[in-house]
């Protein structure tokens, strides 16, 4: 999962899921459209970074007002999620061995108790 890091504290941020309420809260708090905020964030713009850092903190239960958000801008880092996203329809479960086949280690099967 992606995260913001400030002062040694991690603020996880799932960039793939925004609820309708979060979008409304972001637009209301910033006065900007969600499209502008996403574009600003992707361009490392201040408004976008502030908006999504504020949201990450609110998701962790901090009830900070957007207008009160203040931090050392140069110290805030955003670390994207580097986990590959599976393609639609791609099976992400590890392949399981066929339960009808006995494991084969190169030795003949033990038939002494058969």
DSSP string, the chain: --EEEETTEEEE--TT---HHHHHHHHHHHSS-HHHHHHHHHTT-HHHHHHHHHHHHHHTT----GGG----GGG-EEE---SPPPPTT---SPPPPPTTS----SSPP--TT-
- Span of 48-62, 78-92, 96-110 with lowest mean pLDDT: 96-110
* Within-domain flag for 70: yes
* Within-domain flag for 74: yes
Give dist(CA 104, CA 93) in Å, integer.
23
* Within-domain flag for 100: no
Q: What is the pLDDT of residue 15?
A: 86
* Within-domain flag for 48: yes
State the residue range of the domain holding 57.
Answer: 3-79
Give me 81's structure tokens.
């999620």
* Within-domain flag for 88: no
Name which of 64, 55, 69, 68 is nearest 24 in CA terms.
55
- The span from the first CA to the last CA of the chain, in angstroms, equals 52
Torsion sign (Cα): 46, 35, 65, 59: negative
What percentage of the chain exceeds 70 in pLDDT? 76
pTM: 0.72
* Within-domain flag for 45: yes
* Within-domain flag for 51: yes
* Within-domain flag for 103: no
When divided into structural domains, the chain yields a total of 1
């Amino acid at each position: 999962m992606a995260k913001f890091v400030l002062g040694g504290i991690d603020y996880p941020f799932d960039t793939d899921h925004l609820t309708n309420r979060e979008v409304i809260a972001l637009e209301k708090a910033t006065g900007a459209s969600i499209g502008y905020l996403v574009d600003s964030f992707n361009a490392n713009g201040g408004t976008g970074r502030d908006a999504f850092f504020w949201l990450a903190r609110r998701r962790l239960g901090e009830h900070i007002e957007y207008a009160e958000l203040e931090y050392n801008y140069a110290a805030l880092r955003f670390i994207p999620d580097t986990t590959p996203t599976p393609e639609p329809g791609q099976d992400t479960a590890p392949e399981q061995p066929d339960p009808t086949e006995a494991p084969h280690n190169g030795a003949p099967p033990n038939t002494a108790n058969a």
